Chains A and B, each alone.
Chain A
């Protein structure tokens, strides 16, 4: 079943076409990757899907429903949630309270939400930092918190914007394991990523963007050997 369907979506900023007639289908249960050079429109596409930007034209269907004009909070309640490239947390709250806010999207009872937040914290192995203020966390911890908050809303489709940025090799491998664990729990993942070995390792299907357009898509090995993709990343031979 198609969890997400994007039909000919366009978004412009003034004269700049950030996303140009983009088509995309995401099937339930897989891990999708979105790659492309800086300024290709990846984050803009994420912002459109997650309801932070409204597209000029085109339609977005999530689980069969037209969600083009829904806001991000409405999408969250339908099971579509995203993380931010630069982690956006609640700095004056502890880690567990940050996760609690996510869990409250599904229940009014604070006690119940708190025990669910505890479960997520346990799932992501963050017990040691549970009572630390989010504002004093380090980068790799913030990336984890960013995931924990979003996971607490129990998403069907999870959009991750550059989870690996700012992490060292060891932390990246931990993050890959974590993402696989999340995927195994039944969540469809869609990740924007710059780090190629992560994409090749993790994703079952890759979409490549350049100048706001889709230039290739398919299985990782096919796409990464695609002539167009190599040109975009390495430049043309003279």
Chain B
């Protein structure tokens, strides 16, 4: 097998997978399609988290802040001012990017690292949630519900199918973005900064700029994702979009699948979604158990097991196994 063979294999697998997902909703019911839509959106958001948290090593526990800002910007602009959803999403992304820039600049200025950054970022999301819950203009704790109308230009659709393809495009987009970052100087510099700030600095890397760039980019993409999330859900609730559960989901999905990899966030999210849906189904079938609590418990167990036995995540683990059976020595060719 040479490089070109490997590339064409990857291309064939990629196209095959894409076709599979393109025709998938025609063979399953609305419920499963809906599940996949939110798995897509979560995958995209995990991919966005991965840019700062995976490649850049900025372990954010508060990406819900960016989701929330994107979600509320989209909602308010669309429902109060009639501005199309896609514009709202982009503006929400920009607003998130500003917040991300401010956050990363602050942590660099005051040298907040590791644990303290995780807690600090979590608090940002919580504070924003507290503000929204107390603001009448933003619908308080009740949230804001979208009317069911069909206005494609606004990104408002009846039925789940259009959202399915929209979300699929988002997933393809984040794959392309991650892929090009990984191969660029930015990607190498981000990984270097994560592994040793001092060595990076000595070799000409502006560590502060790397942190700010990765966080701002990640925040922008996350904000846009927050917009598509509320449009697909047709409901914007502060406890949901600013909730810690969302931050945890992004982190867990990426770590489970493999951080600082292109496909890790997607694989991880789909696995977690499968676990969650399976548990919900079981809980409803047996009755009596709160499925939400069950999901939390099982996810917690998974996190512990991943940390202990699969610290790099599923994708790197599978890649290692493939490397052992393939005659190829250069690992970068397989990724």
* Chain A residues packing against B (C-beta within 8 Å): 50, 52, 71-73, 76-77, 81-84, 88-93, 97, 100-102, 104-105, 108, 110, 113, 131, 149-150, 152-153
Contact = CB atoms under 8 A, between A and B. Distances in A.
Interface stretch (B37-45, B170-178, B186-194, B269-277): B186-194
B201 interface: yes
B210 to A, nearest CB: 10
Contact of A90 (B191, B204, B207): B191
A97 B196 CA distance: 14
Interface of B: 183-185, 188-189, 191-192, 195-196, 198-207, 329-330
Contact of B189 (A71, A88, A101, A131): A101
Q: Determine chain B's interface SS by DSSP, over half rule.
A: helix
27 contacts: A50-B202, A52-B198, A72-B201, A72-B202, A73-B200, A73-B202, A73-B204, A77-B204, A81-B203, A84-B198, A84-B202, A88-B196, A88-B202, A89-B196, A89-B199, A90-B196, A92-B191, A93-B192, A101-B189, A101-B200, A102-B204, A105-B205, A108-B184, A108-B185, A110-B183, A110-B185, A131-B329
B315 to A, nearest CB: 15
Contact of A105 (B191, B203, B329): B203
A175 to B, nearest CB: 19
B116 to A, nearest CB: 22
B199 A104 contact: no
A91 B204 CA distance: 18
Contacts of B192: 90, 93, 101
Given A101-B189, A110-B188, A88 B199 contact: yes
Contacts of B191: 90, 92-93
Given A76-B204, A152-B203, 4 more contacts: A88-B199, A93-B191, A113-B185, A131-B329
A108 B199 CA distance: 19
B202 A150 contact: yes
Contacts of A71: 201, 206
A13 to B, nearest CB: 17
Of B195, B199, B207, most A-chain CB atoms within 10 Å: B199
A101 B202 contact: no
Contacts of A91: 195-196
Contacts of B196: 88-91
Contacts of A149: 199, 203
Q: Which 8 A-B pairs have the closest CB atoms?
A: A105-B204, A76-B204, A88-B199, A90-B195, A72-B201, A101-B192, A102-B203, A73-B204
A101 B184 contact: no
Given A89-B196, A92-B195, A76 B188 contact: no
A102 B330 CA distance: 21
Contacts of B199: 84, 88-90, 149
A73 B205 contact: yes
B195 A93 contact: yes
Contacts of A72: 201-202
Contacts of A92: 191, 195
Contacts of B204: 73, 76-77, 81, 102, 105, 153
Contacts of A81: 202-204
A19 B195 CA distance: 31
Given A73-B206, A77-B204, A105-B204, A88 B198 contact: yes
Contacts of B206: 71, 73
A81 B204 CA distance: 9
Contacts of A102: 203-204
Given A90-B192, A93-B191, A101 B201 contact: no
Contacts of B189: 101, 104
A108 B198 CA distance: 21
A92 B190 CA distance: 13
Contact of A101 (B205, B329, B330): B205
A100 B192 CA distance: 10
B203 A153 contact: yes
Nearest to A104: B185
Contact of B188 (A83, A84, A104): A104
B323 to A, nearest CB: 12
A81 B201 CA distance: 10
Nearest to A131: B329
A108 B204 CA distance: 13
A89 B201 CA distance: 12
A32 B328 CA distance: 46
A43 B234 CA distance: 61
A108 B184 CA distance: 8
Contact of B202 (A76, A93, A100): A76
Nearest to A146: B199
A93 B198 CA distance: 16
A111 to B, nearest CB: 10
A101 B207 contact: no
A75 to B, nearest CB: 8
A104 B192 CA distance: 11
Contacts of B330: 131
A80 B189 CA distance: 19
A100 B200 CA distance: 12
